[in-house]
């Protein structure tokens, strides 16, 4: 299905979005899962209770329609997945897709990323955190809403178990330059040149859209710097720059995009 989001899907059917298959196939209703996490507790989530087993937990923040979480949950049935977004409509699509694919190792919740990490994720409780295409906010008045900040990175570091992995991706050259500056302080940061091998056509909806428009995509990941003490992290949060860069929509500077189309792009 592509551009016809409200058609009833048939068991065995494969859905398409921008010409790229959404991972998994629709199962018969008797095999559907219930993946909406509608009520969050007062404190940190007990993942063992949520998923009914003990398994490594993968968290995706700002997951949009959930394409990456679906793909990872299908490819890694031995991992549990929590996808969250601030937008209820996006989570409705994500939840419906996971339900119809019978993905019992997935939950989706409506929650902003900062609150989720601070209030609902216990220190050292997750194996991976993923963020794909956080909004760059081109309007300078909205720059304060940018997700990737030293404080946010400290919260990701705190949520991850020792050796845990953080994955980021953006199609904004300016946001990427900022991430290159701050990520190595908290993580053993490595840039991924070209698409992730597990998703040659794109891990997320925004990646597929951006590449379809000929925009560069920048990707990277890093394991947690386990040696950082609480004092060292507090100092990093205080000293590292905040994301105050200036940016414009890429469409307005195509010639510049061509020049930026280096090895980290695709």
Rule CB under 6 A: which residues touch ligand SAM?
A: 61-64, 85-87, 90, 112-113, 132-133, 135, 147, 204-207
24/112 Cα distance (integer angstroms) = 27
What's the full length of the chain, in residues? 266
Give 70 or 185: the residue with its C-beta nearer to ligand SAM: 70
At its nearest, how many Å lie between ligand SAM and the CB of residue 77?
22
Residue nearest to ligand SAM as judged by C-beta position: 64
At its nearest, how many Å lie between ligand SAM and the CB of residue 217?
10
At its nearest, how many Å lie between ligand SAM and the CB of residue 242?
15
Q: Which of 130, 188, 125 is nearest to 160 (CA)?
A: 125
Q: Which residues pair with 50 in a beta bridge?
A: none
Locate 235 and state its tokens: 């100092």
At its nearest, how many Å lie between ligand SAM and the CB of residue 123?
20
Give 36 or 86: the residue with its C-beta nearer to ligand SAM: 86
Give 13 or 142: the residue with its C-beta nearer to ligand SAM: 142
At its nearest, how many Å lie between ligand SAM and the CB of residue 107?
15
Residue 159 CB neighbours (<10 A): 26
Burial of 205-215, coded b for 16+ CB within 10 Å and e otherwise, reads: bbbbebbeeeb
Give 85 or 128: the residue with its C-beta nearer to ligand SAM: 85
Give 29 or 140: the residue with its C-beta nearer to ligand SAM: 140
CA 180 to chain centre: 17
Give 36 or 228: the residue with its C-beta nearer to ligand SAM: 36
Give the CA angle between residues 230, 233, 237 to the nearest 5°.
140
At its nearest, how many Å lie between ligand SAM and the CB of residue 69?
10
Residue 122 CB neighbours (<10 A): 13
Whether 35 contacts 99, CB under 8 Å: yes
């Amino acid at each position: 299905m592509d551009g016809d989001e409200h058609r009833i899907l048939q068991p065995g059917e494969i859905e398409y979005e921008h010409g790229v298959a959404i991972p998994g196939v629709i199962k018969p209703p008797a095999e559907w899962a219930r993946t909406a996490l509608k009520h969050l507790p007062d404190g940190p989530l007990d993942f063992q209770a949520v998923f009914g087993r003990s398994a490594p937990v993968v968290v995706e923040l700002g997951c949009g329609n959930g394409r990456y979480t679906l793909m990872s949950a299908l490819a890694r049935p031995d991992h549990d997945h929590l996808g969250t977004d601030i937008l209820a409509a996006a989570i409705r699509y994500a939840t419906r897709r996971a339900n119809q694919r019978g993905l019992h190792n997935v939950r989706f919740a409506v929650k902003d990323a900062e609150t989720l990490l601070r209030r609902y994720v216990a220190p050292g409780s997750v194996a991976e955190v993923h963020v794909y295409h956080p909004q760059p906010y081109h309007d300078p008045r909205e720059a304060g809403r940018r997700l990737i900040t030293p404080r946010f990175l400290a919260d990701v570091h705190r949520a991850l178990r020792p050796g845990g992995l953080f994955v980021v991706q953006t199609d904004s050259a300016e946001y990427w330059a900022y991430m290159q500056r701050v990520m190595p302080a908290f993580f053993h940061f490595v840039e991924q040149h070209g698409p992730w091998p597990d998703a040659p056509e794109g891990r997320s909806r925004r990646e597929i859209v951006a590449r379809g428009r000929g925009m560069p995509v920048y990707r990277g990941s890093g394991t947690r710097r386990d040696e950082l003490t609480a004092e060292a992290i507090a100092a990093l949060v205080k000293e590292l720059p905040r994301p105050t860069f200036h940016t414009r929509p890429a469409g307005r500077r195509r010639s510049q995009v061509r020049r930026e189309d280096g090895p980290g792009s695709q």
